[in-house]
Amino acid sequence: MEDNGIKSIRYPVEADEKLAKLALKLGRSKKLLFMQMIDYFYKSKKDPADLNDELLKKELVNGVNRIISSIRRQESDFLLPLITDTAKLLQIALNNNKYLNGLSVYALDDEKKIKDIIYRMGLLDKAVSRIHTYYEEKALLKIRFRKIMEHYITQRETFGWPVSSAKKEELQSHVRQSLENL
């Protein structure tokens, strides 16, 4: 009994050994592996005699070219502007450092001047305080002297010296004015 759906092929023993090793490696039967090889070559339209496989090479080259093109596009779109902007930012930072160093020098100079001004203001405050104390002492002295003078005038009136009242008034106003001018 012969099955019409089965055909046989004769091939050398070396090819059978290679087919057996390949089938064992892939975990398939030789018959299944052979059928899959035929399907592969039929669908891919590759020539098994062409070991270099020009279609595969062409696809690989196209893939590599697409990858290189993508990398170049990313380089021009992202990397080059980033490098340019980084250089500009670095230059700005260097300029800002120079400016900040200059400001630091001015700040130190201003600090010295402010300390000097604070010292002088302290001296001025002490001087104003002394002057204020002197004015208070002068006013107190005038009040005491006025009391002494008023007491003197009152006592002189009680003694009754024979002096005209105009001369008394003139003496009193002169003494009071002299007291205010102290």
How far is the CA of 14 from the CAs of 11, 47, 50, in angstroms? 8, 21, 20
What average pLDDT does this structure show over 117-141? 92
Confidence band of 3 (pLDDT split at 50, 70, 90): low
Length of the chain: 182
What confidence score (pLDDT) does residue 134 get?
92
CB 176 within 8 A of CB 147: no
Alpha helices in 12-164 (DSSP H): 13-26, 30-44, 54-74, 80-159
Task: Provide mean pLDDT across the span 133-159.
Answer: 81
Compute and round to an integer the Cα radius of gyration of the chain.
60
**What integer pLDDT is reported at residue 160 of this predicted model?**
66
Tokens in use for 58? 């062409």
For the record, the structure tokens of 1 come out as: 């009994």
Q: What is the pLDDT of residue 1?
A: 46
What is the reported pLDDT for 26?
92
Distance CA 128, CA 131 (A): 5
Query: What is the rounded average pLDDT of the residues 70-87?
Result: 84
Query: Which tokens in the block code for residue 46?
Result: 């590759």
User: Per-residue pLDDT averaged across 63-91, rounded?
Assistant: 86
Indicate the pLDDT class of residue 2, thresholds 50, 70 and 90: low
The mean pLDDT value for 5-10 works out to 82
Report the alpha-carbon distance of residue 46 to residue 159 in Å, rounded: 154
List C-alpha distances in Å: 130 to 59, 86, 125, 126, 140. Answer: 101, 64, 9, 6, 15
Mean pLDDT of 106-113: 89
Q: Which are the contacts of 182, defined by CB distance < 8 A and separation ≥ 6?
A: 138, 141, 142, 145
Report residue 154's pLDDT band, with 50, 70 and 90 as the boundaries.
confident
pLDDT at 162: 65
Section 164-172 average pLDDT? 75
More confident residue, 43 or 176: 43
**Mean pLDDT, the chain, whole residue set:** 84
Number of neighbours of residue 34 by Cβ within 10 angstroms:
16
pLDDT given at position 119:
94
Q: Would you say residue 27 has pLDDT above 60?
A: yes
List the structure tokens of 45: 């339209």
* Residue 33: closest CA among 45, 15, 50, 49: 15
